[in-house]
Structure 1
């Protein structure tokens, strides 16, 4: 299956660089990887294209005889550790979900062999389909199928949240305490570690969020994808969901964090996120309709969605700051992207989170 065709905050990464088209993109040693592919899968001539860099991990399409055959996903250049870029963990999650009702990429191998690559990588089948990155992508879905497509996304999210964590062998991903509380600490720490700028709004929003964590009894726990939005799914021409991708931020915790994030993506100005998503004006159902569909699919009341939407905006601000810093330090491969563009919106996202919290209070 294909991995995300455009999964991050920068659209311009979709076009492969000249280096990628030549067969040797940054992050791939074609001789070592080619030898491994030849031994494991019998393919002699492989071409490599940059598929996406996402927020962090590098993703490549591999072509055989000019046809897309596989997808390879590896950590970013300069990566020195940390679960956010742990592609082996991401691959294991996708492999575990393979037998469930959740549509995921078909993982062929999770490779950790310095003789092939200096970092672990996930090797997957390619899947025909497209992500929703632009109005033109949305227009590919027939008008009379778009509402069903939107509700299909929600049903897919409900399927993720209904997975029995222990039954699929992901028990060890459980952590003590609240996912929200852990992530508030984690993302603030990562922001303070990586940032090169003074953005006090990040700490201000963190403090408000930390003081209003919803009670545990109103927060169902299960698999939380962590980045569930339209451009992290692959669609067939009829709008049905073929695969959910970008599992690098997945954790066991409050599942409503996903619903809040999904709603936030649909209601926050595009200029704040630089991510295009379909809106009501494009024929997408309202946020209220989507929440109602989620409640119908799960049989549970979705409490505190506004809080989780605010948390999503704050987390996205922290992530964007990381993208900006990696760009200005040359750790995003051969991506041709203006760092200023990637850095825009961090303060606006934080302010948007505060606005949502004020409305909820």
Structure 2
């Protein structure tokens, strides 16, 4: 399966919601966004993340609309206005993101605040199959560009970009540990000793924050659009972006990076030959960013624990009947919590 973020079937979730958007076309025209009605919305991404719709107009133009989820979630990290402003700000700093077209805080237009941006052509490498289908000769280039763009994000002057007020800068990992532990505690319905032990171990081992930067929060191949040459055309899904420790992004990238021959867990395109190894990812990041990151084992363990927290939340929703799908899908997420927490504990004890 994919790294534990929820993707849902478009037909199941779109329902009649997007078909009842008669005000969208006129609103876009009033905001200076050229469209030819009728607009046809198609859900591309759903779940607990912000919902992403492709909008096709009568003239063949395509846009993308992002709005908060339809269902309640544990914590409202779905401020589309915040995400819009971050993406617009980093675009001005040369970070590849879609062109941001308009932000609508009025929930009456589509049922929630939303923003519209350009549709970007390209490929998202999210799964083993995606990695296998990607030309072997372009895998190294895609890996290097992915790391290079991460280093560029971390080099953004947040004050010059107007992002200095995004939030607290210090104690990022401690704040994230508290946040995700709270969400885990609220969603979990079972006792998992390895999760409790891992949380205590992480809290006791939080390293001093040596760097402060703009942190994407979910940076991986599954959240970037790349072209045929392997260049990153757009970085997507900025809803978790914050000011904090950039090594958390690096650890997350490494935790979602599988090397050839490693056992399958969640889906990762990098299990195919030709992609950089984790060690090469770190070396590339150090060379491009100018930062000597040292041992990143803690940050990988933190990322694995966070993935486990997310997986437990998905498992709990399957178990409660709040999510559609086969029971076997829920069991996979439930088992993944054990696998991830055990792997993180093993890595912590070995480092």
TM-score by length of 2: 0.88
Q: Structure 2: how far apart are the matches of 1:111 and 1:260?
A: 34
Shift of 1:124: 1.1
1:9 is the counterpart of 2:4: yes
Q: Which residue of 2 aligns with 1:323?
A: 314
Q: Structure 1: how far apart are the matches of 2:3 and 2:48?
A: 5
Q: Which residue of 2 aligns with 1:289?
A: 280
Shift of 1:340: 3.5
Alignment of 1:92-171 (within 5 A): 92-139=85-132, 141-171=134-164
Please list the CA deviations of residues 57-79 of structure 1 after superposition, one character each: whole Å capped at 9, or x if unmatched. 21111112384611111111233
Which of residues 257, 278, 283 in structure 1 aligns to 2:270? 278
Shift of 1:138: 3.2
Shift of 1:128: 0.5
With over 3 angstroms needed to count, the CA separation of the structure-2 counterparts of 1:18 and 1:203, relative to structure 1, is closer
Q: Which residue of 1 aligns with 2:51?
A: 58
Please list the CA deviations of residues 251-296 of structure 1 after superposition, one character each: whole Å capped at 9, or x if unmatched. 1111011111111111486643x222213x4211111111111110
Q: Structure 2: how far apart are the matches of 1:121 and 1:207?
A: 39
With over 3 angstroms needed to count, the CA separation of the structure-2 counterparts of 1:325 and 1:42, relative to structure 1, is same
With over 3 angstroms needed to count, the CA separation of the structure-2 counterparts of 1:241 and 1:25, relative to structure 1, is farther
Shift of 1:327: 4.9
Q: Which residue of 2 aligns with 1:3?
A: none
SS at structure 2 position matched to 1:146: helix
Shift of 1:199: 2.8
Shift of 1:336: 5.1
Q: Structure 1: how far apart are the matches of 2:54 and 2:183?
A: 30
Structure 1 segments of 4 or more deviating over 6 A?
A: none
Q: Structure 2: how far apart are the matches of 1:331 and 1:172?
A: 36
Alignment of 1:214-293 (within 5 A): 214-216=207-209, 219-267=210-258, 271-272=264-265, 274-279=266-271, 281-293=272-284
Conserved? CA contact 2:55–2:63, under 8 Å: yes
Conserved? CA contact 1:205–1:350, under 8 Å: yes
Q: Structure 2: how far apart are the matches of 1:329 and 1:27?
A: 27
Q: Structure 2: how far apart are the matches of 1:63 and 1:203?
A: 47
Shift of 1:214: 1.0
Conserved? CA contact 2:35–2:61, under 8 Å: no
Higher relative contact order (CA 8 A, sep 6+): 1
TM-score by length of 1: 0.86
Which of residues 293, 296, 303 in structure 2 aligns to 1:305? 296
Q: Structure 2: how far apart are the matches of 1:248 and 1:137?
A: 24
Shift of 1:80: 6.4
Shift of 1:52: 1.1
SS at structure 2 position matched to 1:73: strand
Q: Which residue of 2 aligns with 1:77?
A: 70
Please list the CA deviations of residues 285-311 of structure 1 after superposition, one character each: whole Å capped at 9, or x if unmatched. 111111111110011101231110000
1:185 is the counterpart of 2:189: no
1:31 is the counterpart of 2:22: yes
Q: Over the residues paired in the alignment, what is the CA RMSD in angstroms?
A: 2.7
Conserved? CA contact 1:8–1:55, under 8 Å: no
Q: 5+ unaligned residues in a row in structure 2: which ranges?
A: none
